[in-house]
Structure 1
Amino acid sequence: MKPRPEPSFTSSLRAPSQVMRLARLGSFHQCRLSFMRILTRRMAREAWSFTRPIFDIDAKGVGHAVYCAHTPDRTYSLVAFAHDLPAESRSDRVIAQAWDSTFALFDGVPTKEDIARLRRNVPFQEAGRVTETELSVSRANRSVRLWEHVIARLADGRQPDLREILKVGYLMRTTAVYGSGKLGAADREAIAARPECSAPFQIEMLSVFLIRAYVRDLVQHMAKTRGGARAVPLAPEIARRMGIGNSTGLGMAPFLLNHPTLINNWIAARETAIARVRSVPLASADEVETFRDLLARTILSVDLWRSDHPIQIEKLTDLRVDLQRLSHHVEAADLNTEAPWNRLFMWAETELCLEAQECLASLMLEPYGDLVDSLADEMSDLNPAAFRIDGTMSVAQLREILHRNYGWAMDIDWAERENCARAWYVSEEKLEPRLGERFDEPIADYEQPLAPGRDAAALNDALKSWHVDAPVAAFLLAHPEHRHSVRRAQIVDHAPYAEIRDNTISADLLPIDMLRCKLAFFGATQFDPRSDRWVRICLFGNAPYPENLQESNCDDWPYPVLGETLQ
């Protein structure tokens, strides 16, 4: 590959005040730096192999299976338990007690004794316990109507109706994929030094990748059991369309607030990637063609994207209109002149809605893996010292940081009820974060520190009576209730994308914006809010399966193939 010409200018990163607004974060799309794509690139590049040493499931769909992913250095094994779940027991709620399938990702190859131990614990999820040899624990339920449609068709020797497949996008959806110490599983620190775990959430993404293969195999097994010699397997092009669904609620939303350094690293990597591409002086014909092809495939993907939620319906309507505008503009624009991507990006900032702007930002990265992909190594939080408060900092320095990074919060009248209408708390029943109405429910005494804007403003007020040269340590001895805000302010001072620059307890807060941001980094597609507080998504839709993963199909799989028939 020829070396790239030096850019005539270097694009700067977008300001946190522009990027870290909830409406924009809630418009993010998957991109080259999404965690699923980081994983599939690595698996193909390192030629991972996959085996299924056990598939012991009976005619009722009860039993267990083991799926192994063999890296150059070690093996990870998904241990899957299949259950015959009565319809009345099926629920997507966190407090459910039974599921159609339950899973654990085992570090190595499990013995019969390991599987027996897991069988006594994993099907019960929170009521069971695992050990440090397990890296994740998860569960999933069938999409009942589509499940029966697929089995009935295959058992009868026919393929399922692709139109029905596209309406749902998956045969099972997970209600949780737990890692990082949950239920006794290994802490992330135990595996963080492994190359395949260097990017965030790689173990969880591997779990889902293997679950998808299990689901395909299970539905084919059930069809064969019912139809006998008449049954047929899923056509590969239909199987590829099906991902794994996921139902995600408020439990995920506080993650963005509780991990400021990690979130900064995610956003900073994406913004750096965008800036690098905007700085490209000239685009080659191949790069332009790749962009145009994936834009067309994105338009198809968005046309297939369905939601019944009024907020998402409106966003999809605007996105479809603006993607057509973008397509017409790209056809007319000359992308072979100087700084084509910067000019296109600047045009979009004034002409397109937020959804389309962020969709374009993701698409622009696609031709430039050589510029972008290495940023995946910078997305984890490897600096535990950032959590430590610097008590030697002066009050004057701290107030300067607050005014520089939290000026937006100081412009809010926190005494107004609509500006503090909500409160985050942990449900005793579900042990999950919840969002309540402060003035209608008795929850204020249980509020979690998830309103950094309000708390930063309160910290600033408390500092006003202190001498500018006083050390922060002295202030915190007198006011320990402000420790969390001092820590956040010091983190944001060196991690500018660490803080959401919006009110997270206002009456008009949409928690689904927070969910969308995190899920986009996972690589999720087909966001379908079911309310302003929970959403269904699809993971690994259109991705290759383990047995056919290779360099040629490991990366652009989120974009549907043009010209495929729906018949």
Structure 2
Amino acid sequence: MTTPAAINASLRGDNALPLRPTSQVMQLERLGAMHQSRLSFMRILIRRIMRERWQIAPAHFELDDQGYGTVVYEVRTPHDLFSFVLFSDYLSPEERNDRVIATQWDLTMALVAGSVEPEYLEQLRQNVPKQEAGRVDARVLVLSRANRSARNFDTVVEQLSAGRQPDVAQIARVGYLYRTTAVYGSGKLGMADWEKVSSHFPDFARPFSAEMFVCWMLRNFSLLQAEHIARHRAPETFRSMEPEIKRYFGIGNSTGLGMAPYLINHPQLINRWVEMRELALARVRTLGQLDDRRRLDLRELIDRCTSHMQDTVTEDPWQSDNNRQVLKDLEALHNRVTAGLESWDQLLRWSEGHCSLQGQELLVSILLELYPELVEDLEDYMSAEEYLDLDPLMPVRELQQVIEQRYDWTLQIDFGADGARETFWYRSEEKMEPRLGSASCDEGREKQMALGVAYAVRKCYDQLCEYVQQHPDHTTARFMVARPKLRGIVRRIQSMNRCVYGDIQANLLDRDVLPMHLLRAKLAFFGVSKFDPRSRLWVRNTMFQGAPLMEEIGRTFNDDWFMPLAPQR
């Protein structure tokens, strides 16, 4: 199998364009400006399902007239058999809560290896609805829960029962019937860990593939349940939802700080995600043929993105300003393309001087959309083994040079400035979820999580410089004996020096750090859209809007649901 390095080398001819520099790509604000693309995990998953024609059918369907009960779908893939188990329970309005402190939900779900026999189904019934309070075994790959949309679900049921179609304008405002508040995997609560999933279940061996599949199945069930309730409420007048309207429904998601530490604690994996996206862009800039058809496709995609952004609703002033700026960027891009275009490189360089970061990164996603033949094979390289090892034989002078070259950005931060070390990250005892504290008003800094990579590098560098002056010929091993507390950060520095992109370039301890950028970056890799921040610490968004439906498996599939538009009525 061709390695990413070999793929990259294929671009390194005399006329090949280099990858965008680390100092540009790994800025926190730019990472937080990314959008979904052909390499987002939802897109990768749907391509696999549709092209391999997975067989998904209910093996157990027990819902009452109000949509409460138990449903089990059997999922036959090219390699295995899985079961998607779902429990639907009544939830009073007073108990509905999207925060992590909630203890009850409208729906709870699990993705399980193999078929589910009655005894095991009962075991799941006793534990899955409890979520964190329950316990599951290693047959479970993913655990999740979701709540109905207060603004959409009942209204859609009423419309269908009366023989009307859902209001498209309302779907544009709230593009889902259910919103998931957590999707757990990778060994939590007794589930199968990532090593087992990636080595034993090839259908879900790509990052977050099983988690994304559960969200897609939830989206399909939400549509089925709404029709089920409406049909039983008024069988004489009920009318099924039209397919194009069904596709416009996604699944909602609420994401908080729990995602943020992942990007810091898995630097080699994040490096790989960024590397593949940048390699795809380099391929387009170098190999992408620019002809009349591509120009037309580009204008159509710019117009589509414009309509999609106009349909995005948020009450957050910061996000509203961003969306308005992106619309200005898209208008400017449209005018620039209409005026004439010589190369993709020319357009990208023009955008860097005339568009916001979000406009620039949206253009990257658009360009990747134009060339599936140059992009999609890179989906096979989105995984990376996270292994930070120490090189004890590296001379301390070389270690010093690595920091000065690869971590020069940390040396430019004044950690003695007011507010530069005010924020600390900790994990709550009650829910074991990440939280932000302020050193000026909160206690507990001594229990902070080790997410201040920039400050740790700077402390290491300062002590290393002193050591080099005294022992210029020593190795890293001798330095570690003298400074054993620095072992972790030295291991990270040496290991990330082998990566193309490395660490996110930001001081996460700064008073004004915006965790939303971290959330946005990871969600963009997932493939979500329509970001709606509810504070600087959590965001609502929409998943799988425009994606194919479960009943469309086996039909012609063109993977053309990037930035979906409202169906015309």
TM-score range, shorter chain: over 0.9
* Alpha-carbon distance in structure 2 between the residues aligned to 1:458 and 1:500: 18
CA distance in 2, matches of 1:183, 1:480: 33
Match for residue 288 of structure 1 among 286, 295, 300: 295
8 Å contact from structure 2 (residues 34, 361) kept in 1: yes
* Aligned-pair CA distance for 1:7: 8.2
Match of 1:332 in 2: 339
Contact 2:288 2:371 in 1 (8 A): no
Q: Indicate if the aligned counterparts of 1:540 and 1:558 stay in contact, CA closer than 8 A.
A: no
Counterpart selection for 1:157 from 156, 163, 167:
163
Q: State how far apart, in whole Å, the 1-side matches of 2:110 and 2:454 are.
A: 39
Q: Corresponding residue for 1:197?
A: 204
Residue 103 of structure 1 and its aligned partner are, at CA, apart by 0.2
Deviation for aligned residue 1:349: 1.0
- After TM superposition, give the deviation of residue 403 of structure 1 in Å: 0.9
Matched residue pairs, number? 556
Displacement, 1:200?
1.2
Amino acid at match of 1:533: L
- Give the distance between the partners of 1:546 and 1:119, measured in 2 at CA: 25
Contact 1:262 1:380 in 2 (8 A): yes
In structure 2, the residue matched to 1:381 is 384
Shift of 1:552: 4.2
Q: Whole-Å Cα distance in 2 between the matches of residues 551 and 399 of structure 1?
A: 58
Distance apart, 1:549 and its partner CA: 3.5
Give the aligned partner of residue 105 of structure 2.
99
Which whole-Å CA distance do the structure 2 matches of 1:281 and 1:136 have between them?
Answer: 39
2:544 is matched with which residue? 540
Deviation string, structure 1 residues 283-333 (Cα, Å, up to 9, x no partner):
244333333322221111111111111111111110001101101111221
In structure 2, C-alpha distance between the alignment counterparts of 1:71 and 1:457, rounded to whole Å: 49
* Structure 1 residue 523 displacement after superposition: 0.3
Superposed CA offset, 1:8-39 (max 9, x none)? 72111111111111111111000010000011
Q: Which amino acid aligns with 2:354?
A: E
Residue in 2 aligned with 1:503? 507
> Which residue matches 1:397?
398
Q: Which amino acid aligns with 2:453?
A: P
Q: Does 1:241 align with 2:248?
A: yes
4+ residue runs over 4 A deviation: 4-8
Please point out which of 220, 223, 230 is paired with 1:216. Answer: 223
Q: Which residue is 1:112 aligned to?
A: 118
Identity across matched positions, percent: 41
454 and 37 in structure 1: CA distance in 2 versus 1, 3 angstrom threshold: same
Distance 1:218 1:560, change over 3 A: same
Q: Are residues 561 and 165 of structure 1, via their aligned partners in 2, closer, same or farther at CA, if it must alter by over 3 Å?
A: closer
Pick aligned residue for 1:206 from 209, 213, 220? 213
Contact 2:79 2:203 in 1 (8 A): no
Q: What is the TM-score when the length of structure 1 is the normalising length?
A: 0.95
SS in 2 for 1:322: helix
**Residue 10, structure 1, aligned to residue 16, structure 2:** yes
Partner of 1:271: 278
Give the alignment partner of residue 128 of structure 1, picking from 128, 131, 134: 134
**1:281 to 1:298, Cα distance in 2 relative to 1, 3 A:** closer
Secondary structure at the counterpart of residue 254 of structure 1: helix
What's the counterpart of residue 359 of structure 2? Answer: 356
C-alpha spacing 1:333/1:454, structure 2 compared with 1 (3 Å): same
After TM superposition, list the pairs within 5 Å mapping 1:61-80 onto structure 2. Answer: 61-80=67-86
CA distance 1:227–1:258, shift in 2 (3 Å): same
CA contact (8 A) 2:164 2:239 kept: yes
List runs of 5+ in structure 1 lacking aligned partners. none
Please list every run of 5 or more consecutive structure 2 residues that lacks an aligned counterpart in the other structure. 1-9
User: CA distance change for structure 1 residues 399 and 40 in 2, over 3 Å: closer, same or farther?
Assistant: same
CA separation of 1:6 and 1:137: change in aligned 2, threshold 3 A: closer
Residue among 142, 145, 168 paired with 2:151 = 145
1:291 is matched by which residue type in structure 2? L
Aligned with 2:151: secondary structure? helix
Deviation at 1:282, TM superposition (A): 3.1
Q: 1:281, CA displacement in angstroms? A: 6.0
2:478 paired residue number: 474
The 5 A counterparts of 1:305-454 are 305-334=312-341, 337=342, 340-382=343-385, 384=386, 386-454=387-455
Check conservation: 1:104, 1:136, Cα contact below 8 A: yes
Whole-Å Cα distance in 1 between the matches of residues 81 and 305 of structure 2? 35
> 1:488 aligned to 2:492?
yes
CA distance in 1, matches of 2:331, 2:556: 28
Q: Which amino acid aligns with 1:509?
A: V
Distance in 2, matches of 1:235 and 1:183, equals: 39
Contact 1:413 1:419 in 2 (8 A): yes
Determine helix, strand or coil for the equivalent of 1:518.
helix
Per-residue deviation, 1:58: 1.1
Q: Partner amino acid for 2:462?
A: D
1:53 is aligned to 2:54: no
Query: Is 2:389–2:492's contact at 8 Å kept on the other side of the alignment?
Result: no
Deviation string 1:349-408 (CA, Å, 9 cap, x unpaired) is 1111111100000110112112111111111113x5x32222222211211111112212
Letter in 2 for 1:488: R
Q: Tell me: CA distance 1:284–1:550, structure 2 relative to 1, closer, same or farther (3 Å).
A: farther
Alpha-carbon distance in 2 for matches of 1:270, 1:313: 27
- Whether 1:22 aligns to 2:25 is no
The residue aligned with 2:7 is: none
1:252 and 1:515 in contact (8 A); partners too: yes
Counterpart of 1:513 in structure 2 is 517
Equivalent residues of 2:54, 2:75 under 8 A apart: yes
How far 1:198 moved relative to its partner? 3.5
Summarize the Cα distance change of 1:218–1:541 in structure 2 as closer, same or farther, 3 Å threshold. same
Distance 1:6 1:473, change over 3 A: closer
RMSD between aligned residues: 1.8
Alpha-carbon spacing, 1:554–1:102, altered in 2? closer, same or farther (3 Å): farther
Q: Match for 1:211: what amino acid? A: L
Q: Which residue of 2 aligns with 1:188?
A: 194
1:23-62 deviation per Cα after TM superposition (whole angstroms, max 9, x unaligned): 1111100001000001111112212222122221112332
How far is 1:154 from its partner? Answer: 1.1
Following the alignment from structure 1 to structure 2, what is the Cα–Cα distance between the partners of residues 284 and 392?
A: 53
1:76-99 C-alpha deviation (Å, 9 max, x unpaired)? 221000010111111111121000
1:491-519 CA distances to partner (integer Å, 9 max, x unpaired)?
Answer: 22011323011111111111000000000
Asked if 1 retains the 8 angstrom alpha-carbon contact of 2:427 and 2:434, the reply is yes
C-alpha distance in 1, partners of 2:220/2:288? 43
- TM-score (structure 2 length as normaliser): 0.94
- Supply the distance in 2 between the matched residues of 1:468 and 1:527 (Cα, whole angstroms): 51
Contact 1:491 1:498 in 2 (8 A): no
* CA distance in 2 between partners of 1:470 and 1:197 (Å): 46
Quote how far apart the aligned CAs of 1:440 are: 1.1
| Cα distance in 2 between the residues matched to 1:468 and 1:6 | 37
